[in-house]
A and B are shown apart, each in its own frame.
Chain A
Amino acid sequence: TQLLEQSPQFLSIQEGENLTVYCNSSSVFSSLQWYRQEPGEGPVLLVTVVTGGEVKKLKRLTFQFGDARKDSSLHITAAQTGDTGLYLCAGGPGTSYDKVIFGPGTSLSVIP
């Protein structure tokens, strides 16, 4: 059974600080996604990474997929209050169709 763990579970930082959240598994994933969920809303896809060692940047967010495709990290530079939300990683075998496994999430609060 594939499982994803995320750390930290909760994170509260001041606006302007940098942070990194992690997504880990003992299993290999063919691809991994990061979603952000704001209160009262459904998750919204931020990025999909598919190649071991891949790094993708989305403005102040940097995503990295581990070389062995068992882990991923999300780094936010100069956090803003708009970054507040629940960050979820999700992975799967990457076949044409299959269930997608979600991690428990990191709840980020950016304080002005």
Chain B
Amino acid sequence: KAGVTQTPRYLIKTRGQQVTLSCSPISGHRSVSWYQQTPGQGLQFLFEYFSETQRNKGNFPGRFSGRQFSNSRSEMNVSTLELGDSALYLCASSYQGLSSYNEQFFGPGTRLTVL
């Protein structure tokens, strides 16, 4: 069974640009969650999509948005990039949905650098 894949693995952008990251969950998983990981703040929850609907959202500005397609693949978009957006962006999929009871399967992440 293929794991969670994320593309691209590395990305360099400049301030003010926008970026789109992609995540393909494990086959059969309907829930995709996105996280931002930085050395200072750790792993912070961005949002979760389940069957194309955003079910939960973390405390990030509206520049961070996402969507999920009918095949459960998900994209995350960050507009008007700031230096502080440099981070590892992880997506995770689960079969039953985001819960501390359920296992999340993480992808390897996309390393975004904003110059």
Q: Mark the stretch among A18-26, A40-48, A54-62, A77-85 that contacts chain B.
A: A40-48
CA distance A42 to B99 in the complex (A): 18
- In this complex, what residue of A is CB-closest to B47? A99
Whether, in the assembled complex, B21 has its beta carbon less than 8 Å from a beta carbon of chain A, the answer is: no
Q: Which B residues are in CB contact (< 8 Å) with A110?
A: none
A98 CB contact (under 8 Å) in B4, B98, B104:
B98
B97/A93 in contact, CB under 8 A? no
Whether, in the assembled complex, A88 has its beta carbon less than 8 Å from a beta carbon of chain B, the answer is: yes
Whether, in the assembled complex, B92 has its beta carbon less than 8 Å from a beta carbon of chain A, the answer is: yes
Q: Which A residues are in CB contact (< 8 Å) with B98?
A: 97-100
B106/A100 in contact, CB under 8 A? no
CB within 8 Å for A97 and B99 given contacts A42-B4, A102-B42, A102-B43 = yes
Of B4, B44, B98, B99, most buried by chain A (CB within 10 Å of CB) is B99
B101/A50 in contact, CB under 8 A? yes
Question: 0/1 per residue, B46-66, Cβ < 8 Å to A?
Answer: 001010000110100000000
Interface of B is mostly: strand
A88 CB contact (under 8 Å) in B33, B43, B50, B92:
B43
Q: Which A residues are in CB contact (< 8 Å) with B45?
A: 99-102
Minimum distance in angstroms from B31 CB to a CB of chain A: 8
Q: Which residues of B does A touch, CB under 8 Å?
A: 4, 31, 33, 35, 42-45, 48, 50, 55-56, 58, 90, 92, 97-101, 103-109
Can you list 14 A-B contacts (CB < 8 A)?
A43-B90, A43-B106, A45-B103, A88-B42, A96-B97, A97-B55, A97-B56, A98-B98, A98-B99, A99-B48, A100-B33, A102-B35, A103-B42, A105-B42
> Apart from A50-B101, A99-B98, A102-B45, what 10 extra A-B contacts exist at CB < 8 Å?
A33-B100, A42-B92, A43-B106, A48-B103, A91-B100, A92-B100, A96-B99, A99-B58, A102-B43, A103-B42
